[in-house]
């Protein structure tokens, strides 16, 4: 089977949830023995780091990218508002990218074209005109939910109105764009349910991101609980919002009760205002070369998300590393994890601070929770099981004779 995978940002090196999800999809296809070509959007925010992209990856995927200017343009934003279009999505359309895509489709036949996220959907018409490939929308999340939640937490009334408008137009576009695709791959059940309830009739499946490195990550359930950490890409607005909320409202409450605790912050693209801020008992580690190694000597991981959608890959990674996870209801969405069984959930500063202090004072109980969370990930997010489900899904879309024989005569449209 031949796959063209279109990515909304450079998938290598895979250091955040989005790039990890895209890289895993590529790996699964290659492990199945299928031919994969990766064509990605490069932006000023996410330029290609050629020295960090393995040569074997470039060769295996015939990797190419095309630069698009996605910086905010107030005039184009105003034009989108007047026309009722989603500016969030339209800024990812580029004639040069479309031209290159036409050239790629004209040179080779692809059975499937995988759109990694909503921001590739402006190219659906280009794909339809140039090929007979089945189009899969891989929904990393329901994008509009992020903007609705940001609007709900915004205090400035003018910004609130603007965010609500962006969310409404994005929701409308998101539903219409999905209906133009042949199939839907959702990273979370909540995302799949959203599209099904809004009229998607094509083949669909819930296929989460797998827990990476389950076989060779050194798990340390006994790391000191007085060392708390947050790990995430800081150019994603919900991460900035959640971290600022945690530092201003939660961390001072923690230090009042346990003044020796230390909070470590790691991630790429830390904003300058954060790096220059002086927070008590906070260590800013910046971008780290290996997340699993970084987490080894720290017992507790916090994911204080107030907005966002889809599935938090970092939570699955943290559980795979044997960490005690403390997050919000929004953060736990899409993982299937339960409060007090696999991780801890708190939505107020007081409750979150109390859970952190409790874990610090009772490390045996916290470690026991981490063991249960790790077992849950081992049982539900194994790469082998997810790869098998992905193979079955793709063969339903391209029913080769051998696939028809293996899959029987079932005509179900939803997995």
CA 116 to chain centroid? 10
Q: Is the pLDDT of residue 200 over 80?
A: yes
Residue 13: cis peptide before it, omega within 30 degrees of 0: yes
For the ranges 158-162, 169-173, 359-363, 401-405, which has the lowest average pLDDT? Answer: 401-405
**What are the pLDDT digits (tens) for 355-390?**
999 999 999 999 999 999 999 988 888 888 888 999
Which residues sit opposite 183 in a β-bridge?
136, 203
Q: Of 185, 241, 184, nearest to 25 (Cα)?
A: 185
CB within 8 A of 3, min separation 6: which ones?
29, 34, 35, 36, 37, 110, 111, 112, 113, 114
**What are the pLDDT digits (tens) for 52-76?**
999 999 999 999 999 998 776 666 6
CATH 3.30.465.10 corresponds to the domain 2-210+382-407: no
Tokens of 339: 């409060």
Q: Of 350, 318, 344, nearest to 332 (Cα)?
A: 344
Q: Is the pLDDT of residue 229 over 50?
A: yes
Residue, of 350 and 150, whose pLDDT is higher: 350
Q: Is the pLDDT of residue 214 over 60?
A: no
**What are the pLDDT digits (tens) for 176-194?**
999 999 999 998 888 899 9
**What are the pLDDT digits (tens) for 290-306?**
888 899 999 999 999 98
**What are the pLDDT digits (tens) for 10-56?**
999 887 778 888 998 999 999 999 999 999 999 988 899 999 999 99
Q: What is the pLDDT of residue 313?
A: 82
Residue, of 360 and 165, whose pLDDT is higher: 360
pTM, entire model:
0.75
Q: Of 146, 304, 325, 309, nearest to 232 (Cα)?
A: 304
Share the mean pLDDT of the chain: 87
Owner of token pair 């790790």? 374
| Cα diameter, the chain | 67
CA dist 100 and 94 (Å) reads 10
Start-to-end Cα distance in the chain? 21
H helical segments located in 263-320: 272-275, 291-295, 313-320
Region(s) of the chain under CATH 3.40.50.2000: 2-210+382-407, 227-380
Q: Of 12, 20, 89, nearest to 46 (Cα)?
A: 12
In which band, very low, low, confident or very high, does the pLDDT at 245 lie, cut at 50, 70 and 90? Answer: very high
Q: Of 144, 136, 146, 49, nearest to 393 (Cα)?
A: 136
H helical segments located in 117-214: 124-130, 143-153, 157-179, 189-197
- Give the long-range contacts of residues 283-292, CB within 8 A, separation 24 or more: 287/15, 288/231, 291/15, 291/231, 291/266, 291/317, 292/213, 292/217, 292/218, 292/317, 292/321
Say which CATH architecture domain 227-380 belongs to. Answer: 3-Layer(aba) Sandwich (3.40)
Phi, psi (rounded to 5 degrees) for 351: -70, -40
Owner of token pair 């080894």? 296
Owner of token pair 């999505």? 89
CA dist 392 and 390 (Å) reads 5
Tokens of 401: 């004779």
Q: Is the pLDDT of residue 415 over 70?
A: no
């Amino acid at each position: 089977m031949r796959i063209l995978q279109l990515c909304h940002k450079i998938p290598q090196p895979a250091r955040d949830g989005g790039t990890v999800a895209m890289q895993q999809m590529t790996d699964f296809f290659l492990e199945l023995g299928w031919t994969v070509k990766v064509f990605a959007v490069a932006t000023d925010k996410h330029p290609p780091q050629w020295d960090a992209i393995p040569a074997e990856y470039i060769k295996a995927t015939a990797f190419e990218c095309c630069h698009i200017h996605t910086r905010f343009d107030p005039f184009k934003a105003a034009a989108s508002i007047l026309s009722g279009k989603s500016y969030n999505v339209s800024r990812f359309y580029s004639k040069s990218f479309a031209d290159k895509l036409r050239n790629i489709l004209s040179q080779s036949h692809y059975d499937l074209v995988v759109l990694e996220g909503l921001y590739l959907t402006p190219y659906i018409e280009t794909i339809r005109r140039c090929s007979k490939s089945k189009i899969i929308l891989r929904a990393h999340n329901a994008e509009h939910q992020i903007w609705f939640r940001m609007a709900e937490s915004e205090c400035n009334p003018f910004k609130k109105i603007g965010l609500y408008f962006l969310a409404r137009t994005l929701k409308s576009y998101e539903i219409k764009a999905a209906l133009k695709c042949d199939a839907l791959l959702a990273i979370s059940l909540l995302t799949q349910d959203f599209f099904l309830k809004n009229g998607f009739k094509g083949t669909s499946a819930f296929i989460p991101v797998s827990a990476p490195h389950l076989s060779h990550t050194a798990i340390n359930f006994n790391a000191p609980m007085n060392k708390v950490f947050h790990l995430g890409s800081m150019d994603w607005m919900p991460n900035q919002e959640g971290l600022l909320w945690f530092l201003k409202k939660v961390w001072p409450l923690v230090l009042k009760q346990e003044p020796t605790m230390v909070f470590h912050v790691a991630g790429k693209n830390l904003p300058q205002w954060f790096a220059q801020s002086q927070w008590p008992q906070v260590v800013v580690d910046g971008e780290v070369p290996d997340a699993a190694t970084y987490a080894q000597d720290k017992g507790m991981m916090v994911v204080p998300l107030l907005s966002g959608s889809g599935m938090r890959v970092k939570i699955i990674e943290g559980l795979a590393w044997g960490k005690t996870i403390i997050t919000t209801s929004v953060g736990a969405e899409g993982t299937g994890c339960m409060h007090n069984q696999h991780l801890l959930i708190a939505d107020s500063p007081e409750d979150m601070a109390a859970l952190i202090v409790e874990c610090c004072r009772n490390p045996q109980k916290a470690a026991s929770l981490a063991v249960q969370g790790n077992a849950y990930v081992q049982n539900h997010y194994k790469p082998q099981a997810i790869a098998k489900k992905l193979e079955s899904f793709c063969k339903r879309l391209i029913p080769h004779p051998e696939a028809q024989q293996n899959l029987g005569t079932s005509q179900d449209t939803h997995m």
